């Protein structure tokens, strides 16, 4: 995970800079300590793989034990990980470690809520590219840990023809024809019934229906009649996702899972040895 290691180094450099002046001033260099990461509220865990990267980047610790793994459901008071080493190292890494754990577990926890709401339907929930810059791999891993399905990672691994691509290509049919030569999976966004009909007539196998009400989506899915898989998007949240899932859609995508997840409450407690 080169990307994760890079972002960890950047996060540490941002926070520590030329040195943790408080720990250097207050804590003897030879002082040893142990610390424990604790869930302060129910959550779905994600981000524990980042902890070894953080400590290794600061010279390592004597012992790091990951008590739970990504995707585990934790209740308040449960241990996430324990660490033993230089007190200064534990203190200078505390905030960065918590930032990653709280953010990524927040994404996983919200993703789990979405997955739970659509349970019992055939519909799967997808994440999107609406991620924190630099954290996409970690946030998408967190979303998957919460029980939803990852959409494309970026602009490079699948084709998603959106309205601006259609305009630039000269129409739905031309955009699809131009894209076939890539050999990549092709999905096309349609926003009007004439675009829907053109897409199906052009052999589209994956449709993205954007900004429809659940009632409109159900009508359009009846028109598709199984000739393509259907994804619904556009402002879908926890309150509405069940209604969209019950339209017969194969997928619903929700940017809120990554762009609006609330950090969960995790603490770090340090004790001297």
Query: 160 - beta bridge partners?
Result: 187
Q: Which CATH number is associated with domain 2-112+262-272?
A: 3.90.1170.20
Residue from 163, 165, 136 nearest 150 by CA: 136
Q: Range(s) for CATH 3.90.1170.20 in the chain?
A: 2-112+262-272
What is the rounded CA–CA span in Å between residue 270 and residue 244? 46
CB contact at 8 A, 215 and 192 = no
Q: DSSP labels for 107-118?
A: HHHHHHHHHHHT
Helix extents (H) in 181-255: 193-201, 214-224, 241-245
Q: Quote the pLDDT of residue 2.
A: 58
Q: Quote the pLDDT of residue 257.
A: 98
Q: What is the CA 157 to chain-centroid distance, rounded?
A: 17
Q: Tokens 């969960």 correspond to what residue?
A: 264
Q: Range(s) for CATH 3.20.20.70 in the chain?
A: 115-259
Q: Quote the pLDDT of residue 244.
A: 98
Helix extents (H) in the chain: 2-16, 21-26, 50-57, 87-117, 136-145, 163-169, 172-180, 193-201, 214-224, 241-245, 256-259
Residues of the chain by 3-state class (helix, strand, coil), percent to 5: 40, 20, 35
115-259 is classed CATH 3.30.70.370: no
Secondary structure of residue 87 in the 3-state scheme: helix
Other beta carbons within 10 angstroms of residue 171's beta carbon come to: 13
Which residues are the active-site residues?
95, 130, 162, 189, 210
Sign of the CA dihedral with 234 first, then 235, 238, and 240 last = negative
Buried/exposed code over 107-131 (b: 16+ C-beta within 10 A; e: otherwise)? bbbbbbbbbebbeebebbbbbbbeb
What is the rounded CA–CA span in Å between residue 58 and residue 61? 9
Taking the CA atoms of the chain, what radius of gyration do you get in angstroms?
Answer: 23
Angle between helix 50-57 and helix 2-16 axes, rounded to 10 deg:
50
Tokens describing residue 158: 């699948």
Secondary structure of residue 272 in the 3-state scheme: strand
Q: Would you write out the chain's pLDDT as a tens digit for each of its 273 residues?
A: 458 999 999 999 999 999 999 999 999 999 999 999 999 999 999 999 999 999 999 999 999 999 999 999 999 999 999 999 999 999 999 999 999 999 999 999 999 999 999 999 999 999 999 999 999 999 999 999 999 999 999 999 999 999 999 999 999 999 999 999 998 889 999 999 999 999 999 999 999 999 999 999 999 999 999 999 999 999 999 999 999 999 999 999 999 999 999 999 999 999 999
What is the rounded CA–CA span in Å between residue 11 and residue 92? 12
């Amino acid at each position: 995970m080169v990307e994760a290691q890079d972002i960890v180094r950047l996060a540490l450099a941002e926070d520590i800079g030329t040195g943790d002046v408080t720990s250097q001033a207050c804590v003897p260099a030879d002082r040893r300590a142990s610390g424990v990461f604790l869930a302060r509220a129910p959550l779905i865990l994600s981000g524990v793989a980042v902890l070894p990267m953080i400590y290794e980047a600061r010279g390592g610790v004597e012992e790091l034990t990951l008590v739970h793994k990504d995707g585990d459901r934790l209740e308040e008071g449960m241990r996430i990980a324990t660490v033993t080493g230089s007190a200064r190292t534990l203190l200078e890494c505390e905030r960065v470690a918590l930032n990653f754990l709280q953010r990524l577990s927040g994404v996983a926890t919200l993703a789990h809520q979405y997955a739970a709401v659509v349970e019992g339907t055939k519909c799967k929930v997808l994440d999107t590219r609406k991620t924190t810059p630099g954290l996409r791999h970690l946030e998408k891993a967190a979303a998957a840990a919460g029980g939803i399905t990852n959409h494309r990672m970026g602009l490079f691994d699948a084709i998603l023809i959106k309205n601006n691509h259609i305009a630039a290509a000269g129409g739905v049919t031309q955009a699809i024809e131009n894209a076939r030569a890539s050999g990549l999976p092709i999905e096309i966004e349609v926003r009007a019934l004439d675009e829907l009909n053109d897409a199906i007539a052009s052999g589209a196998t994956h449709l993205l229906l954007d900004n429809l009400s659940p009632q409109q989506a159900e009508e359009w899915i009846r028109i598709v009649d199984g000739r393509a898989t259907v994804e619904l998007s556009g402002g879908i949240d926890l309150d509405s996702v069940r209604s969209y899932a019950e339209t017969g859609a194969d997928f619903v995508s929700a940017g809120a899972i990554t762009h609006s997840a609330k950090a969960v409450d995790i603490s770090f407690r340090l004790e001297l040895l």
